[in-house]
Structure 1
Amino acid sequence: MYGSQPARTGRTTLLAVLLAPALALAGALVLLAAPAHAANAPRTSVNPVIFVHGQEGSAQQWQSQAKRFSSNGYRDDQLYVHEYDTSVATDDHAIAGLEALVDTVRARTGAAQVDILAHSRGTRVAHAYLAVPERAAEVAKYVNLDGRTAAAPPGGVPTLAIWSSLQPNGSIGGAVNVHEPQAGHTESATSAESFGHIYAFLRGRAPLTTRVLPELPTSVEIAGRALYFPQNTGLAGRLEVWRLDPATGARAGLLPQHVVRVGADGAFGPLAVNGRGHYELALVRSGERTNHFYFEPFERSDRFVRLLVSPPGGVADSIDACPGHTALTVVRAREWRADTEGDDRLRIGGSDVLNAAVSPRLRQILGLFVFDKGCDAVSHLDAALPPFDRIPFLTATDLHLPADAQARGTIPVTQTMRGTGGIEETIAVPNWPSDRHTVSLLFKDYADIPSGG
């Protein structure tokens, strides 16, 4: 659990609300976020928040909401995630881990109670945890995100329940029930709309903003863990942080910006990055393929970065790897949909890879594997590849992407997220050979567009 490690006293957010005269005439409010150190911030009565992920989840489903909490003044030591092994069918280990984390957070912060948010399978864990009165007494408020239904709030704790299109009739008796009929299952936990409901429930007032507010580019730091997935167990190795040429994905300079040794718990950071820069995080392990991770710019500090690697015998063993092609994994904590006009688009090397067969709405796709099936240099984009077509939240398509032994070529990957008016975001990556390298791209689950928040 990342939250069980000592929290850095690093940064908080002070919100300055500026109303420029010209914009005032148009009624526009401009919010600027400036970093400050938590050590200099007074203690408040705000409860620490713990997020409990769902099946095949991790802190990735908490990143955006944690940054929205931070944008509204929460400090690092008030935001936690409980990670557990979802390859185990029973919940005893997850319940025990949550109990230990709540005790640790209360001791560290001096808070009498915490607030708990749980998503999907995590709601099963949370309901079992809250069933014990002594544990429920340590929880001020509970948020149930598209998971278990109940006749009454679990443990008698005041409850907000948010339901997606997957559970249009979901309900917890006596709770505040909110239905988001257009939201996907994971989107119900990660969206700005959900954050507005969550914050208002926890704090008794609307947030100042539901956006992720950028920090000064020179103030941004990242921290996180390298993990086997979905076990959420740590990976040791050498982590290299490279700044990139955003147009090509090529490494800028001869040396990485950071080189750190990652221990058995997989933890790294905090590491300074530029909030406008594009970065590659490369995990190097002896005798293993190098794992390359590419991101959109880190516009705000993020201590829940996750570098997820499939373990031996895991799902990635079904990916055909060979020196002549590049294999990609593309991830977003908002479902990829391609059933109707106006849904998501994802272009890889100029090819549209999303369609109703590969990423239908009902499959709730979060991760797309792209590789050359059979290493035959022939692409087939009209069907999802087995066994990925049967694995929850995952899909795969057959696309030949020629590789270069020194990765001197560029593969542009461009998403057009639904509901953004056609805004495009591109991550360019080198064409690493798949027999010696894995390449993962992580798109944000929100777009940087003007909003009423």
Structure 2
Amino acid sequence: MLSETVVSPSGGALAASRAPPVASDSDDGNSEDAMTGSQPARTGRTMLLAVFLALAGTLGALTAPARAAEPRAAFNPVIFVHGQEGSAQQWQSQAKRFSANGYDDGLLYVHEYDTSLPGDDHAIAGLEALVDSVRARTGAARVDILAHSRGTRVAQAYLAVPERAAEVAKYVNLDGRTADSQPGGVPTLAIWSSLQPNGSIGGARNVHEPQAGHTESATSAESFGHIYAFLRGRPPLTTRVLPELPGSVEIAGRAVHFPQNRGLAGRIEVWRLDPATGARAGLLPQHVVRVGADGAFGPLGVGGRGHYELAFVRPGERTGHFYFEPFERSDHFVRLLVSPPGGVADSIDICPAHTALTVVRAREWRAGTADDDRLRIGGADVLNRAVSPQLRQILGLFAFDKGCDGVSHLDAALPPFDRIPFLTATDLSLPADERARGSIPVTQTMRGTGGVEETLAVPNWPSDGHTVSLLFKDYVDIPSGG
């Protein structure tokens, strides 16, 4: 069978108000067949929801979750498989988009594995165990699998065994391994980024996004539109992450050594913050939970419009401080990523007089032209062609004072980070306070947003006793209207 190819310009999205064609949920054909069919009769609730979502695009504000009027049994469970140096963190946005289109959080799973190991046998075995567990837990006959980068190697090896392939309804291959035919004969959608402009899987529906970065091809709203239409046989009602009512939002996740993705025991404190300074609001945390060896915590209720810090405390270790943009929608894929002994963090110079920051986003940081991203830390622009070149596909930036000399050098990426995939580092002096009474504003201007700025303010914790990590979303929030 000849493969079908679609070239998709970056930045597009399927319209929420578009009338969706329907195919049977039991359809096993490829996506070209699955996207044919007749328009179903809508329930009054679903029609009202479609109108509401269409209006949301015009009004720019939405404060209630979207829920499709379909029973849970109508959806296959979805299993996400990350790539090299990955975790559940890269799937947070897509999981929330699935949720906004009616998927119960109990149908969304992630397969995490140790990417510091060169072989895939452990990852394949783990995926097999997870598929069996998810099918038993949900009662589903089959699952859908979405895999990115190295994860496509894992997924395709898994699907090569007919008995395993029979348990998968549809497969999405995101900017990874090519193939002459659909893996295991499973209906396949393949999405390719600018890194693989000629990528193809024979017999699959191949979509090319020539402006997208490698990770962006898996995390973007545009990719979600293609993925949902392939899995469901019709476009999604929305490709945006829609806010829930603030009192309904909850978070859950794990604390892990990264990139091994092994759980860590400790204590997690959830603090509400003053968004202007990052200082803790109140004398006591909103939640205090002790986590076991698997590192799992939650679900924990948080305010949908508030700024939060998750502090991870372990005896004899530096306290980890994790800062987030507001959780406008429930998020069960939160990850507190901790570098293990001998890991990348050992290359960060630490001292009591300076703060060290890690800034992460699941969309590549690009710099060099007026239309690219900007990232300002304490007022200093830290992105440039040397620190974050497009070809390196940077997702994480470390900012610390090299040599603890109080002098910044922002014109080059620091070794060894300049050789580690997806990571970079810059020499930035950020004076600390022993009681973290100062504030460091960190502002991103994301490309393609018309100059929208988003700021996270964090206390200036000294790096000899504290690590500070900031996670920016890979999309721009819908204004809440208040």
Q: TM-score, normalised by structure 1?
A: 0.93
Find the partner of 2:97 among 52, 68, 72.
68
After TM superposition, the structure 1 = structure 2 runs for residues 177-256 of structure 1, keeping only pairs within 5 Å, are 177-256=206-285
Paired residue type of 1:312: P
The 8 Å contact of residues 166 and 185 in structure 1, kept in 2 or not, is answered as yes
User: Any idea what the Cα deviations from partners look like across 1:76-125, whole Å, max 9, x if unmatched?
Assistant: 11100000000000000000000000000111111110000000000000
Name whichever of 384-393 and 27-36 sits farther off: 27-36
Partner of 2:175: 146
Go from structure 1 to structure 2 and tell me whether the alpha carbon gap of 1:41 and 1:290 turns closer, same or farther (over 3 Å shift). Answer: farther
The 8 Å contact of residues 72 and 103 in structure 2, kept in 1 or not, is answered as no
Partner of 1:339: 368
d(CA) in 1 for partners of 2:370, 2:60: 33
Identical amino acids, percent of aligned pairs: 85
Partner of 2:293: 264
The 8 Å contact of residues 19 and 28 in structure 1, kept in 2 or not, is answered as no
Find the partner of 2:201 among 158, 167, 172.
172
Matched, 1:117 2:146: yes
Matched, 1:132 2:164: no
The 8 Å contact of residues 35 and 219 in structure 1, kept in 2 or not, is answered as no
**Cα-Cα RMSD:** 2.0
Alpha-carbon deviation of 1:340? 1.6
Matched, 1:374 2:403: yes
Counterpart of 1:208 in 2: which secondary structure? coil
Paired residue type of 2:294: D
Go from structure 1 to structure 2 and tell me whether the alpha carbon gap of 1:267 and 1:155 turns closer, same or farther (over 3 Å shift). Answer: same
Partner of 1:9: none
Go from structure 1 to structure 2 and tell me whether the alpha carbon gap of 1:270 and 1:449 turns closer, same or farther (over 3 Å shift). Answer: closer
Alpha-carbon deviation of 1:30? 7.7
Go from structure 1 to structure 2 and tell me whether the alpha carbon gap of 1:230 and 1:183 turns closer, same or farther (over 3 Å shift). Answer: same
The 8 Å contact of residues 335 and 366 in structure 1, kept in 2 or not, is answered as yes
The 8 Å contact of residues 63 and 302 in structure 1, kept in 2 or not, is answered as yes
Matched, 1:102 2:102: no
Matched, 1:159 2:188: yes
Find the partner of 1:360 among 363, 371, 389.
389
d(CA) in 2 for partners of 1:222, 1:87: 28
d(CA) in 2 for partners of 1:58, 1:336: 18
Paired residue type of 1:356: R
Partner of 2:32: none
d(CA) in 2 for partners of 1:250, 1:344: 27
Alpha-carbon deviation of 1:422? 0.3
Partner of 2:76: 47
d(CA) in 2 for partners of 1:27, 1:122: 38
Go from structure 1 to structure 2 and tell me whether the alpha carbon gap of 1:23 and 1:126 turns closer, same or farther (over 3 Å shift). Answer: closer
The 8 Å contact of residues 129 and 136 in structure 1, kept in 2 or not, is answered as yes
The 8 Å contact of residues 18 and 31 in structure 1, kept in 2 or not, is answered as no
The 8 Å contact of residues 70 and 102 in structure 2, kept in 1 or not, is answered as no
Q: TM-score, normalised by structure 2?
A: 0.87
d(CA) in 2 for partners of 1:70, 1:223: 15
Partner of 1:426: 455
The 8 Å contact of residues 33 and 71 in structure 1, kept in 2 or not, is answered as no
Find the partner of 1:304 among 333, 336, 342.
333
The 8 Å contact of residues 50 and 237 in structure 2, kept in 1 or not, is answered as no
Counterpart of 1:283 in 2: which secondary structure? strand
d(CA) in 1 for partners of 2:390, 2:143: 35
Matched, 1:325 2:354: yes
Partner of 1:400: 429
Alpha-carbon deviation of 1:18? 6.9
The 8 Å contact of residues 420 and 449 in structure 1, kept in 2 or not, is answered as no
Counterpart of 1:288 in 2: which secondary structure? coil
Partner of 2:5: none
The 8 Å contact of residues 66 and 102 in structure 2, kept in 1 or not, is answered as no
Find the partner of 1:17 among 46, 49, 69.
49
The 8 Å contact of residues 318 and 466 in structure 2, kept in 1 or not, is answered as yes
d(CA) in 2 for partners of 1:264, 1:46: 32
d(CA) in 2 for partners of 1:56, 1:377: 31
d(CA) in 2 for partners of 1:406, 1:43: 49
Go from structure 1 to structure 2 and tell me whether the alpha carbon gap of 1:27 and 1:219 turns closer, same or farther (over 3 Å shift). Answer: closer
User: Any idea what the Cα deviations from partners look like across 1:412-442, whole Å, max 9, x if unmatched?
Assistant: 0000000000000000000000000000000
User: Any idea what the Cα deviations from partners look like across 1:227-274, whole Å, max 9, x if unmatched?
Assistant: 000000001101000000000000000000000001100000000000
d(CA) in 2 for partners of 1:27, 1:429: 34
Alpha-carbon deviation of 1:43? 3.6
Counterpart of 1:185 in 2: which secondary structure? coil
Paired residue type of 1:243: R
d(CA) in 2 for partners of 1:134, 1:333: 34
Alpha-carbon deviation of 1:411? 0.1
Partner of 1:4: none
Paired residue type of 1:56: E
Partner of 1:6: none
The 8 Å contact of residues 51 and 80 in structure 1, kept in 2 or not, is answered as yes
Structure 1 stretches of 5 or more lacking a match? 1-13
Paired residue type of 1:335: E
Go from structure 1 to structure 2 and tell me whether the alpha carbon gap of 1:131 and 1:431 turns closer, same or farther (over 3 Å shift). Answer: same
d(CA) in 2 for partners of 1:120, 1:409: 40
Alpha-carbon deviation of 1:449? 5.0
d(CA) in 1 for partners of 2:424, 2:94: 25
Go from structure 1 to structure 2 and tell me whether the alpha carbon gap of 1:325 and 1:27 turns closer, same or farther (over 3 Å shift). Answer: closer
Paired residue type of 1:86: T
d(CA) in 1 for partners of 2:218, 2:123: 19
Go from structure 1 to structure 2 and tell me whether the alpha carbon gap of 1:259 and 1:425 turns closer, same or farther (over 3 Å shift). Answer: same
d(CA) in 1 for partners of 2:149, 2:249: 31
The 8 Å contact of residues 19 and 29 in structure 1, kept in 2 or not, is answered as no
Partner of 1:388: 417
Go from structure 1 to structure 2 and tell me whether the alpha carbon gap of 1:138 and 1:341 turns closer, same or farther (over 3 Å shift). Answer: same
d(CA) in 2 for partners of 1:35, 1:193: 18
Paired residue type of 1:111: A
Counterpart of 1:173 in 2: which secondary structure? coil
Counterpart of 1:195 in 2: which secondary structure? helix
Counterpart of 1:103 in 2: which secondary structure? helix
Alpha-carbon deviation of 1:159? 0.2
Counterpart of 1:63 in 2: which secondary structure? helix
Matched, 1:90 2:122: no
d(CA) in 2 for partners of 1:423, 1:112: 44
